[in-house]
Amino acid sequence: MGDERHEKIQKRAYQIWEREGGGDPEHHWHRAEAEIDREAALPLTADDALPQTREIASTDVLTVEELAVRTGISGDEAQELIERLGTDRAAIEQAARGLKGRRKS
């Protein structure tokens, strides 16, 4: 399990590095590590977290824009969350709120 976690963190850190156009690799690693650990602590399904979730398609541009506006993240961040987390609206919105909260810190 340690190798799998390390690979996930490594991949996420690289995604962060790409998204930000470079920067401090150690900072990206720590951010990726926190995201991966936080996701691992989330309930296994949306039904465990919030009842009656709605699914959304990543190709629905209006929904991506709506998520970005409603949660205060960029359209690219909204699209990335939808692609990464699938169609589970509750998990996507929770992750979006987490992104916005980290920016304020």
For residues 83 and 64, state if they share a domain.
Answer: yes
* 96 and 66 within one domain: yes
Total residues found in the chain within this entry: 105
> How many distinct structural domains can be found in the chain?
2
d(CA 73, CA 46): 21
> In percent, how much of the chain has pLDDT > 70?
73
Element (H, E) at 10: helix 2-20
pLDDT band at 90 (very low <50, low <70, confident <90, very high): confident
Quick one: DSSP state of residue 86?
A: T
Task: Say whether both 27 and 53 belong to one domain.
Answer: no
14 and 60 share a domain?
A: no
Considering the domain architecture, whether residues 55 and 102 belong to the same structural domain is answered as yes
Both 23 and 62 in a single domain? no
Per-residue model confidence (pLDDT) at position 11: 92
CA distances (Å), 26 to each of 6, 49, 98, in order?
A: 14, 32, 20
pLDDT of amino acid 51: 45
Cα separation, 105 vs 97, whole angstroms: 13
Which domain range does residue 88 map to?
Answer: 45-105
Confidence of residue 44 (pLDDT cuts 50, 70, 90): low
Does one domain contain both 4 and 21? yes
The verdict on 4 and 37 lying in the same domain is yes
More confident residue, 22 or 88: 22
